[in-house]
Amino acid sequence: MLVDNPVVSTLVEAGILNKTSDLGLDTKSIQKNILGAGEIDGSSYGVPIGANTLALYYNKKVLTAAGVDPASVKDWNSLTAALKKVKAAGKKGITFSAINTEEGSFQFLPWFWGAGGDLTKLDSAKGVAALSLWKGWVDDGLAPKDVLQNTQTTSWQEFATGDYAFGENGTWQLGNADKAGFDYGVISIPGQSGGAAPVPTGGEFVTVPVQKDSGRYDVTKKIVTCLTNSANLLATDTTLAYVAPSAAVQTQQVKANPELKPWVDAVAAARGRTSGGLGTKYPTISQPMWTAVQSALSGGQSPQAALDTAQKAADKGGS
C-alpha cells in the first residue's frame, strides 16, 4: 500500500503493517528524518518514495520595487520588516493557508517548530509566539484575512497574481511557479531567531500489509525494492513534487534541475508530524491546533487563550 506518511502509525496500531526489518528491506541509505515519519518504537514500517515540504516562494519584482533583498530575511523580525516595506510600496505581503483542516496545521508547523514549540505543549510561550506572529500579520494587513479559508491551492493562486511578495507553499508548486509569468525565488522558512525552521515532511511510504500467506512476501519485497531503487526514485514524479529520500539521488536531482536545491535543503531540515513518539496522538493534537489558529486569527480568542483551549482538547484526545 502506498500511504501518506501520517497514516503509517495508524495502520501499525491496527496491526496491519509489517516491519521493514522483518522483510529484509534495506533502508540504510534513506535520510533518518524522512524515514522517521514511518517509524514507531524504533522500528520502520515502510519505505518512503520521496518527500516534499514547505518553503517561501518570493516574487523578485515585488521585493526589488520595495527595496528588499531576499537574503536579508533571516528570522521573524527581518521577515516582518520586509513585509512592512512591501506594504508601504503598495503591494501585498505574504499569503498562506490557515484553513481548519490538516493543511492549516501543516502550514502552521514551521512557525510553531521555528519558535521551539513542542506539540505536546501547545499552550507554551513558544507556541503562543508563533500564533501571535500570524495574528500580527493579519491584523496589520501584511497577510490577507482570507488565509482563514485558504487551502494551499487557493493560497498559491493568490501568490500567482503577482501582487504578493511571499507565498508559503510546497515543492509541488514548482511547475506552476514556472508558468506564473514572473521571476521568483525560494528561501527556507526562517526560525524565530534565525536559521531554517523545521518543516513538516510530506510524502508517501510504500508499506507492506500483513498477509496470511507469508509466501507472497518474496514477490512483495521485489516490488518494494523496484519502486524505491535509485533509478526509479530519480524518475519519480516528473512534476518535481518529490525530493528523493536518499542523498545520492538528491545530488542527481539537483544536477538535473538546480531549482531543487532549496527544496533539498528544506527536506533535510524537515521532521515527521508523527515522529518523536507521537504516532496516532498527532491527529488529536492537530485538530485542536488548527482550531486555535482559526480562533486567534478571526479575533475570537487571544493566541494564549486559543492555545490554552487547544491544549485542554488535546489532553482529552481531540476536539
pLDDT digit string, tens, across residues 133-147: 999 999 999 999 999
Query: Please, which residues bridge with residue 43 across strands?
Result: 40
Q: How confident is the model at residue 124 (pLDDT cuts 50, 70, 90)?
A: very high
Residue 238: per-residue pLDDT:
52
- Is pLDDT above 70 for 209? yes
Who contacts 312 (Cβ-Cβ below 8 Å, separation ≥6)?
none
Dist CA 5 CA 46 (whole Å): 9
Residue 213, C-alpha cell as written in the block: 500467506
Residues 36 and 134 in one domain: no
Residues 182 and 307 in one domain: yes
> Is residue 275 a part of any domain in this protein?
no
Dist CA 140 CA 221 (whole Å): 55
Q: What is the CATH number of the domain that holds 75?
A: 3.40.190.10
Domain range for 302 is 54-200+280-315
Residues 235 and 146 in one domain: no
Q: Is the pTM of this model over 0.75?
A: yes
Taking every pair of Cα atoms in the chain, the longest distance, rounded to a whole number of angstroms, is 68
Residues 213 and 287 in one domain: no
Residue 3's SS3 state is strand
Residues 26 and 63 in one domain: no
Residues 178 and 211 in one domain: no
- Is pLDDT above 80 for 319? no
Dist CA 243 CA 222 (whole Å): 23
> Is residue 131 a part of any domain in this protein?
yes
Q: How confident is the model at residue 231 (pLDDT cuts 50, 70, 90)?
A: confident
Q: Cα dihedral sign for 127, 129, 132, 136?
A: negative
Mean pLDDT throughout 239-260?
86
> CA gyration radius for the chain?
20
Residues 187 and 291 in one domain: yes
Residues 195 and 287 in one domain: yes
Return left, alpha or beta for 279; rule: phi > 0 is left, psi -120 to 50 is alpha, else beta.
Answer: left
Residues 130 and 160 in one domain: yes
pLDDT digit string, tens, across residues 71-100: 999 999 999 999 999 999 999 999 999 999
